Every structure is written in structure tokens, then in C-alpha cells.
A and B are shown apart, each in its own frame.
Chain A
Amino acid sequence: MSFGLNRHELSLGQKLWQVNWGIVLILTALACIGFAMLYSAAGGAMEPWAQRQMLRFALGFCIMIVVAVIDIRFWMRWAYVLYAGTLVMLVAVELQGRVGMGAQRWLDFGFVQLQPSELMKIMLVLVLAKHFHSIPLERMGRISAWGPPALLLAVPVALVAKQPDLGTSLMLIMGSAAVAFAAGMRWWKFALAIIGAAAAAPVAWNFLRDYQKERILTFMDPSRDPLGAGYHITQSKIALGSGGLTGKGFLLGTQSHLNFLPEKQTDFIYTMFAEEFGMVGAMTLLALYALLILYGFAIALRASTQFGRLVAVGIVTHLFLSVFINCAMVMGMIPAKGVPLPMISYGGSSMLVTMLGFGLLMMVWVHRDTQFSRGGLQDSD
């Protein structure tokens, strides 16, 4: 039995019409800024980065549109399978490292090197949304409500932390927490978790690798290692600050072009942008991201199913986390960690996963009025 209005099945054309082209426009604009910065990072050349990034964008674009028009019930039904598949890939990365190829975070698919940990962010959002979709509000306190998500989260976090990639495992936790929070998890459970984490921190410190400890210590006091890890942050701040209000001009950033800035095509691309286009440019870029996030929340609030709402919140929270952590890092507000800037940093995994995420976000929009039961199958209870 069903209640509420079930929108009749949409045709492909209708779905494409429904795709949120505003989001597509902003994403394309961001990608174009990325191409320009990669062109600049290469000293004014398409090679080696800009051209490849364009191809990836094209691929990501297709994936995004396809994802957006696939029915929401498909995603709901296959969420666990997709999650399990990604988990297998994570394990594969781990095994691959053991077999003797050294520590790696990605699987090589020829045309793209995919980081399963990036993909896991999305898949975790899907399974958590599916899970909480099926839990009525009054049952949120039971162990059956929060036990499975904790397990779903703990396994990939452990695998990713072991890579070791502390940054991504923290992002997995924070993204999942946002989904659980939006789903109605009680305040005190978060408080308890935070207290527990704080208590465990000194123990965890001993499990950190030396370079991770170094990053945290260097963040606390960048001058303790002016030529090592602290050098990156210091040079990044110099680049940002010297950009001033209006920047040094496209292709004219001295810090980036004279290589004082490390990894300018990936983690520090925002610094390069802010050096060449100043505060005006840097704020504009932040505004574009804010607009995307705003779109995400609007879609979440408009969606008629809990699954859709939670997927939307999870996706935008991950976007927010990536943008915030990357920007805060290059501005010297948090420890340096390898988090790329979505849509702009050079890298296949980040771009494909981001666009996959926005495909899902638009999918929620396209199917905002589709009604279905907790199981995800129409007209069944």
C-alpha cells in the first residue's frame, strides 16, 4: 500500500530536463578555473596537467549525467553492493601494498588511477542514508539504529587509516557523523564520541607514523622546521599574502612559478590561484563553492524521502569538508595534509568522485518527488 503522491515514472527526456543545470554550470566553471591554474602551474602549457584534466572532466561529466538520471530506487537498492565493492577495492589496495609494490593508495585502471578511499566517502553516504531511511525516529535510540552504521564506518576507516591516510579517515568519520546528525541521532551520542576520542588521543598518538606526528607538531609551531614540513606552509602563506587584494596576474605568480610553492598543481593549487588573482579571486572561488553547498542544502530540504535528504546532506558535507580542509591547510590554519581541492586540483580520483557525488545530488533533485517505502521498493512496506 502506498500513501502520498507517487509521481509517475519519468521519461529520460524529462529526467534530463530536470537535471539541475545551475549546478552543472558552477561545476564547469570550477573545472575551467582548474584548467587555467594547471595551465599556469605548467608555466603556461597544456602539458602535462591541463589537457589530461580536461579529459577527466569530460569523462566525469558523462558519469555525472548518467548517475543523475538513474532512478533513486536503484541507488537505494544497490547501496550495500556498491559499498561492498568499494570495500573490496580498499582491501585490494592493502593487499597490493603487501605484495611488494610499496605503500599505495590507488588502483590502476589504466586511464585513471582510482583511490578507493575517495570512492568510499560517497558509498558510505549511500549506505548510511539507506540505513537511516529505514529507521523511524522513535527507534533512533536503539542499538539496531546506531550499531550497524558504526560498523559500516569502522571497517573502511580502519582500512584507510592503515594505508596510512589519516586525513581521509577523519573525513569519512566527519561526513558520516553529519549524515547521522541529520538523521536525528541524539546530541549526547556525539558528545560521548568526542569525549571518547579526546581520551583516546594520547593513545592514538603512539600509533601515528613519525611523519604524521611531524605534521601536527609543525602545524603547532611552523618555525621548528623552516626548511622541512614547515617550509611548505610558510611559503604558502607568503604566496597568499603577497597576492594581496587583486593578485599578481595570471601566469605571474612568483612563488608558484619559481617553485617556492610545493605541489602547486595538487594540494596547493588554491594558494597559486590566490597569489595570481588575489583576495578578489580567492573569495570568488569560495563563493562558488558556497553556492554549490547552498544548492545541496536546498535539494536536501526539498527532497521528499529521507534517503534523498541524507544523501544530499552527506554529499555537500563532503564537498564542504574537502574545500574547507584544503583551504584551511594552505592558509596555515590546520596541519598540512594531502587533501585536494575538489574540481580544481590535478588528480583523477578526486575529480571523478566529486562529479559522481554531484551526479547523486542531482539524482536526488531529479527524483525529489519519487516516493518509496523504507525498503526502497515502490509500494511495498
Chain B
Amino acid sequence: MGRRQRDQDRERLFTRRALLLGAAQACLFGGLGARLYYLQVIEAEKYATLAEDNRMNMRLLVPPRGRILDRFGEVLATSRLNYRVVLVREQAPNVEATIDAIARLITVGEADRRRVLRDVRRKRAFVPVMVREDLSWEEVARLEVNAPDLPGVSIDVGQSRLYPHTEAVGHILGYVGIVSEVDLKSGTGDPLLELPDFRIGKNGVEKIHDQALRGVAGASQIEVNAVGRVIRELNRDDGRPGRDVELTIDIHLQAFVRERVGEESTAAVVMDCRNGEILSLVSAPAFDPNMFSAGLKASDWEELQAHPKTPLTNKAVSGQYAPGSTFKMVTALAALEAGVITANQTIHCPGHYELGERRFHCWKYKGGHGAMNMAEALMQSCDVFFYEIARRIGIDKISDMAQRLGIGSLLGIELPGERSGLAPTRAWYQRRRAASWPQGETVNAAIGQGMILATPLQLATMTARLASGLAISPHLTRTIGGRVPLDRAHAAPPSLGINPQHLALVQRGMAMVTNEQRGTGYKARITEPGLEMAGKSGTAQVRIISKAERDTGVKKNEDLPWRFRDHALFVGFAPLVNPRFACAVVVEHGGGGSSVAGPMVRDILLETQKRDALKRVAGCLTCGGEHRG
């Protein structure tokens, strides 16, 4: 074979194989083209969406939280601007040196310093790290002036909740706190809840009206890069700021009441008899809600928790007490409405009352009261009179009247933790204990002992309903965002449907309590003409007085340990003609109702009426003292 021939063979083989290689490469290129078609035409839409998802980010704009105002527009809760100094690592060449520079201008604690250094390491370089908050104006100014020497340092404004009246309204306002897991789950999916710095109402009005106060989150659509840095804003929706909530509270009266009840474990409620507006609601001792907005220290929290007089509990709505003799109006009205007694019929009080084997004592067990009619029995708080009429009507009628006057079920006040009290019936007892109602309990219930339980709010409501004859519901909210809430059934409260003569009789009896010399509350009377009050004292036994003790002489309250002392109660309304205001005070383990609680109710009702008169003079006559400002 010639060399030429061999070369030609080789060239032919090469040509074949080169063409094969070329064909293979063309096929593979075709594969690339097909893949491009698949990605860029068939799947294009899907990937376009993914690309948009990548670059778009929604940033929530936190709406300013609404304020809480008193009935005259005075601010009870507001969002204070909180000036903070923040540091951005990527703009600060040397973080430690920068913190030193800041510390030369304002105080930076050692703990703050450690936290900053830790956060700076953890967070991304462009995320601002808070160095110190709550800067004063002077501090802000000092930092601003030195800004050129502080690279990466800036002043940032946040919100923090401020309660100018501190603990006087603590229980009503509640407080705000960090969103918990439970809040997140029970929430309506509001994206605001997921913000790390967000605060929601945790108690009181802050909690009940949280939705209105919170407002609606705005959103800013931003373009971000792969590490999350904001490139620019694409779209913006400002959201809606939180609404202001105006309460029925008169903050100055509230402060007065808070001052008056002192540090004993006390609850006091002042209500407008005609419409159920709560002018003041106090539970003592109280807490300062500002402590919570700043972030409560563990030691403070433990102290509040462990306090024997439970400052965290709002006793005005959550405390349940045997109403004692303040319940006698209920028994009286139930008997009058049942027709088992009239205004002039009398019952003899020998100092005790026999029922079967048992003997029930009148508080005046030595000698008794003698013959009593209804008004006198109320005035002197004769127990035997009420034992007898209660036996005549039975427990169910008493309970029914208690419910009509507001005791034994929830009143729907705009506060968390409200409790229902208890007005037992035969059926309830049967269900609960699987036994028939013991007669003796009816006798106990007649004077508000035994099973009967009422909250201070219920006692105030009862008094207001007695004074006005209207089925008012207690409430705290006047307006939300300038408008009366839609669910306000209290605008024109219906009549209780109780015979006005019966009401008048009970009112007269109450008036005699504080205005007749023999009345149990005479010492607590109001002497200013035209402002006189009617009232009723009550002393709720915490322990059972044994017969042996009664024989040897009942121990004086002051001799007992605090927790065994009687609760002191007093309810009252004023003025006597066309009553305007009702008030109830319960002093836990305070002793005698007329001696401890009575003077408080007197001072509170007097102040309430004086303030009302002042407002009328200052405001206009026609609007009944509800003039704003």
C-alpha cells in the first residue's frame, strides 16, 4: 500500500470521525437550546414570580398606638417618643472605639456595652444595634453635635407607652407587653404581632380595646438584595393609626379616691346612677403600669406577685366578697315585691331568731331591737327582721332580686378578670351539691352571709339601680375614635320594673342609715345641705363565731390576725333627691363597715358632687357637667 493511499485512508477516517464528533456536539448544543426553551418560555412565568419574590420585601409600618383619655380629655395613656442611639457596624470602623466615644458624651452602662458588642457580632453588618434608649433632649443634642466624630451612630425614634398618672389608674388601664406565643395563636393573624419590638395590651383597657388602640399596620414594599439590604421603596401604604379611647373615668376624682383609700387592701367604685358610667374605679394597693412598659425587672415582678395584699389583682371587679348587710336592700325589695310585708308591718327582734334547732343571732344579740318596720330595720340593720322576711319568701326570690340588681352574674364591664359573684338558687344548689337547699342558708343569705358573693362593682351597680330604678350597666368606655361604640345598650337604660313605692321605701331606709341618729352610718353622714347621701353599711364575717366565743364575749376585731378580721363594706348614693352618684367601698379585713368604709364613701361622694358642681359652673349648665376640657 502506498503512502499516499494510506494517508488518504487516514483522511477519510478522520473526516468520518470529525463529522461524528461535530454531530455529537451539535446534538448537545441542541440540548442546551431545548433547556433554554424549557426554562425561559415554558417555565418563564413560574421563575418570574420567584424572582419577584426574591427581590420584593414587605416592611410593616407600625401605626402609633391610640391614646387613652379620661372623660374630660385628659391623657391617661400615650405613646411617648423614645429617642435611642443606634450603631450600624458596617459604617463604624471600630465598634469598641465608637462605643467609647459615645460613652464620653452620655452614660453607657457596662451591661449595655456588653450587650451591644454581642449584638453587633450576631446581627448583620447593616442592622442597627441599639446602644441606649430613653435619651433626654440634652443627650440627643450632645450626640447630634458630635455626629461627625461618630461614624455609624444615629438617633432613632421609637414608641414607648407612658402613663402620666402612674398607679392611680393602673388597674383600669392595664399595661402593654411583648407579644406571647398565646397572643400569636389567638391573634387574628395581624402581621404586627410578629414584629419583635411590638407591644400589645396585656391587661385592663389596653387589653380590652387593644384592637382599636393598635390601629392597622401600614406596609412599605421595598426592594432588597440577596443579603436583605434595602435598595429602594416601591410602594407605600400608611395604614391607620390607633384610635383614641375616651373613658368615663374622671381622673381627678380617681386620684382623689386612690388617695383616700390609702394602702389598705381596698376596692372602691363610683358610678353615675342614671347611665352606669364609671367615674372612678380603684383597687388598692395598685401598681405603676409604667414599670411594665419599661420592661419589668424580675425582682419587681416577684415582689408584686408575693405581696399579701395582691396589688396585681383588680379587686373592684375580681374580688368576690360576702356583701353582708349591704345585701339587706335586696332581701327587703324581694319581700316587698313578693307582698309578704308592707311598709308599716313590724317584726319583733328579741336579739335572736329560731329556725328549727338552730338559733341565729342579731348583731345586737343582747336585748334585740324590739318591734321594727322596714325602714327602721334598714336603718338599724336589724338582722332578725331580714331573717324573718327571707324565710317567708325563700331563697329563689332573693336570688332573683339579686340578679335584677346586678349581683350574681357578669356585668360586662370592659375590664379583664371580671367575676360573677354568686346568687344561689335551689336548683343551682341541687345541681351543685346533689342535695336540697338547707333552710338555714336562706336565713344566712338574708343578711348577705353564707353563699352570697358580690364584687365591689356589683355592689355599686346594685346601689345605682336602687337609686335610679333603672337597669343601668356599668361601663368605662365613652367613645372610641371619637364615636360612641355601637354595642352601647346603655344609652337609654330600661326601667328595672320594680314598684317605685317599694324603691322609695328602701331608699328612705338607706337615707335614715346616714341621716338619723340611730342609723348605723350616722357618723359617716354628709352635712353639706343638698349633698346628703343615703347608704348602708356591711360587715362581712370572714370566720365563724362559735357559741362558746359568743358566750364569753366576741373577740374584738383588732385583736385578731389581719386575715381573720371582718371585711368592711359600705354602699351609698347621693344626693337624696334625684340621686346622681352611687359608690361602693370594700376594705378587706378592715373591720366595721360603718366605721371604716362609711367615712370613705362619704368623702368620695362629697368630692364627686363638688367636682360635678364645679364642672357645671366651669362648663355649661345644659350639658350636665359633661363638658369636655
Listed in ascending order, the chain A residues whose CB lies under 8 Å from chain B are 3-4, 136-138, 178, 181-184, 235, 237-245, 254-255, 257-260, 274, 278-279, 282-283, 286, 289-290, 293-294, 297, 300-301, 306, 309-310, 313, 317, 320, 324, 327-328, 331, 333
Contact = CB atoms under 8 A, between A and B. Distances in A.
B38 to A, nearest CB: 9
B6 A309 contact: no
B6 A240 contact: no
B36 interface: yes
Contacts of A258: 54-55, 223-226, 231
Contacts of B25: 293, 317, 320, 324
A141 to B, nearest CB: 13
Contacts of B47: 237-242
26 contacts: A136-B10, A137-B6, A138-B6, A239-B51, A241-B47, A241-B50, A243-B44, A245-B41, A254-B54, A257-B225, A259-B225, A260-B55, A260-B225, A260-B226, A283-B33, A283-B36, A286-B32, A290-B29, A293-B22, A297-B18, A306-B7, A306-B10, A317-B25, A320-B25, A331-B39, A333-B31
Contacts of A294: 22
Contacts, number: 142
B23 to A, nearest CB: 10
* Overall SS of chain A's interface: helix
B21 A324 contact: no
B43 interface: yes
B488 interface: no
B427 interface: no
B44 A242 contact: yes
A309 B26 CA distance: 19
A313 B11 CA distance: 13
Contacts of B237: none
B37 interface: yes
Nearest to B47: A241
Given A184-B10, A184-B14, A258-B231, A242 B51 contact: yes
Given A254-B54, A258-B231, A297-B22, A137 B13 contact: yes
B35 A259 contact: no
A309 B231 contact: no
A126 to B, nearest CB: 17
Interface string B234-269: 000000000000000000000000000000000000
Question: Top 5 closest A-B pairs, CB basis?
Answer: A241-B47, A242-B51, A258-B225, A279-B40, A259-B226
A183 B13 CA distance: 8
Interface of B: 3-4, 6-7, 9-11, 13-15, 17-22, 25-26, 28-29, 31-33, 35-37, 39-41, 43-44, 46-48, 50-52, 54-55, 223-227, 231
A331 to B, nearest CB: 5
A14 B566 CA distance: 124
Given A258-B54, A317-B21, 18 more contacts: A3-B3, A3-B4, A182-B18, A182-B21, A235-B54, A243-B40, A244-B48, A245-B41, A245-B44, A254-B55, A255-B55, A260-B225, A294-B22, A297-B19, A313-B21, A317-B25, A324-B29, A331-B35
Contacts of A327: 32
Contacts of A274: 36, 40
A274 B44 CA distance: 12
A236 to B, nearest CB: 10
Contact of A244 (B17, B19, B41): B41
B40 A182 contact: no
A178 B20 CA distance: 10
Contact of A301 (B9, B18, B31): B18
A327 B35 CA distance: 10
Nearest to A257: B225
B39 A237 contact: yes
Nearest to B44: A244
Contacts of B51: 238-239, 241-242, 254-255, 260
Contacts of A333: 31, 35
Nearest to A328: B32
Contacts of A313: 18, 21
A327 B33 CA distance: 10
B378 to A, nearest CB: 79
Contact of B29 (A136, A286, A300, A306): A286
Nearest to A262: B226
B15 A301 contact: yes
Contact of B13 (A184, A278, A328): A184
Most-contacted residue by chain B among A240, A278, A283, A306 (CB, 10 A): A240
B329 to A, nearest CB: 72
A241 B226 contact: no
A183 B14 contact: yes
A134 B27 CA distance: 32
A327 B39 CA distance: 13
A137 B2 CA distance: 12
A239 to B, nearest CB: 7
B33 A178 contact: no
Contacts of B3: 3
Contacts of A237: 39, 47
Contact of A240 (B29, B39, B226): B39
Given A286-B32, A301-B18, A241 B6 contact: no
Contacts of A178: 21
Contacts of B44: 241-245
Contacts of B17: 181-182, 184
A138 to B, nearest CB: 7
Nearest to A236: B39
A85 to B, nearest CB: 28
B32 A306 contact: no
B50 A137 contact: no
A3 B5 CA distance: 12
Nearest to A241: B47
Contacts of B11: 306, 309
A278 B39 CA distance: 10
Contacts of A138: 6
A182 B54 contact: no
A54 B394 CA distance: 107
A137 B48 contact: no
A328 B36 CA distance: 10
A241 B43 contact: yes
Nearest to B231: A258
Nearest to A331: B35
A182 B225 CA distance: 49
B578 to A, nearest CB: 74
B37 A279 contact: yes
A306 B21 CA distance: 16
Contacts of A283: 33, 36
A217 to B, nearest CB: 21
B10 A137 contact: yes
Contacts of A331: 32, 35-36, 39
Nearest to A320: B25
B162 to A, nearest CB: 41
Contacts of B26: 290
B151 to A, nearest CB: 24
A280 to B, nearest CB: 9
B261 to A, nearest CB: 61
Nearest to A293: B25
The residue in B6, B20, B226 that gathers the most chain A C-beta atoms within 10 A of its C-beta is B226
Contacts of B39: 237, 240-241, 331
A244 B47 CA distance: 9
A317 B29 CA distance: 12
A258 B7 CA distance: 58
A294 B26 CA distance: 9
Nearest to A381: B3
A238 B29 contact: no
A182 B14 contact: yes
A279 B21 contact: no
Contacts of B13: 137, 184
A138 B15 CA distance: 17
Contacts of B20: 181
Of residues B39, B52, B231, which shows the largest number of chain A Cβ atoms within 10 Å of its Cβ? B39
